[in-house]
Structure formats: C-alpha cells, structure tokens
Amino acid sequence: MIDLDELQEIDIQDPMVWPPWFTWLMGVVAALALVGAGWYFVLQDQQNALVSKQREETTLTQTYKSKAAMVASLPAYEKQMEQVKKMLAEMEYALPDSQAMASLLTEITNAVLSQGLTITLFQPRAEVPYGVYAMVPIDIEVMGGFHQVAEFVSTISAMDRIVTVRNLSMQITGDDTADQLTASASLVTYRYVGAEAIKQDKSG
C-alpha cells in the first residue's frame, strides 16, 4: 500500500532518491506516454492518408463520370459533325469559286436563250466582298414575250447555285398590242472566296 506521507516527501526533481516502487511507476507512466504519442502520430498519418485517398477517389469518380458522359455523347457529336460537313459542302457548291463562276454565267445565258429571249445586255459588275464570299451583281436586259420572261425568272430562281433577281422592270416594245417586252434586272449571285480571304488576311 502506498504511504501518502512518503509520496509527499518524494523529490520529483531528484530521481536518485526515488523509492523503487515510485521509479517503477514513473517508468510505466513514461512508457505509456511514449506508446500513446507513437500511436497518435501513426494514426494521424494514417488518417491523413485516408483523407487523401478519399479525395483522390472522389476526383477519379468525377473524372470517370465526365469521361463516360463524353463517350456516351460521342456518336451524337459525330453525327452532328457529319451533318455540319454536309451542310458546308452544300453551301460551298451553292457558292461557286472563281473557276466555277464562268460555268455559272454560261448557265444563266443558256437559261435566257432556252426561253427564246434575246439578250441585249449581259454585264457582270464589280464584286462586293463579304468575308468568305463575294456578291457578284450582273446587269441583264432581254427582249421577248411576257410568259418567256416569267419562265426565265422562274428558271433562274430554281437553279442549284444561288442566283436572285432584283429590280426587275418591263416595258412594252414597239406596238402596244404586240406581246413584246424589254425586261431589265439585276441578277445577284455569290462567289466563295474562303481560301482567298484567309490568304489576304494573313498577307495584310
């Protein structure tokens, strides 16, 4: 049994005078303190590692979900890209380049002649640039019957290439009773200049 009076007389500052039982007790306390401190640091490191792994798992899960969503939407994206490419191809075809412009002018001329009209004026004017395309106005004047002029306008509007008819005016030619008209208009078509515009922008 521990004597309280003896315990009070022990000089904590001088281990040399400690009784054996007190020395043993302090050794046990010190050992428990060391073990407890060791476990604390070990568990703290493990806790930090666990938190880090949990964060990493959360990040990987979010990344996986994001990638999975992208993969799932890839077929729809590829389909949209194909549609866009098809639309661009159709637009480029509708807007002839410089090489195809001569062919388009020939098509317009043939459309006039196929209706039995007489061309009295066919004058392409200066192009008006608009970014990747240029507007090409053409002054035209023809002579013929009303129905021939109407068929010509309808044929022009139905062309695969984009050609619009503007400022159409008609006047009776000669005898007022005759079905002869002089029709004048401004035809507007468009030329694709995408590659040329890029080169000019770089050189400018």
pLDDT digits (tens, 9 = 90+) for 39-50: 666 666 777 777
Confidence bin at 96 (pLDDT 50/70/90) = low
The pLDDT tens digits of the residues spanning 68-84 come to 777 777 787 778 878 77
Q: Tokens in use for 22?
A: 């007190």
pLDDT of 88 > 90? The answer is: no
Which one of 65-74, 115-124, 154-163 scores highest in mean pLDDT? 115-124
Which of 88-102, 140-154, 186-200 ranks highest by mean pLDDT?
A: 140-154
- Average pLDDT on 168-191 reads 80
Q: What is the pLDDT of residue 159?
A: 82
Q: What is the pTM of this model?
A: 0.51
Tell me phi and psi for residue 63, to 5 degrees.
-65, -40
Q: How far apart are CA 96 and CA 189, in angstroms?
A: 9
Q: Is the pLDDT of residue 200 over 60?
A: no
Burial (0-12, 13-18, 19+ Cβ within 10 Å), 186: middle
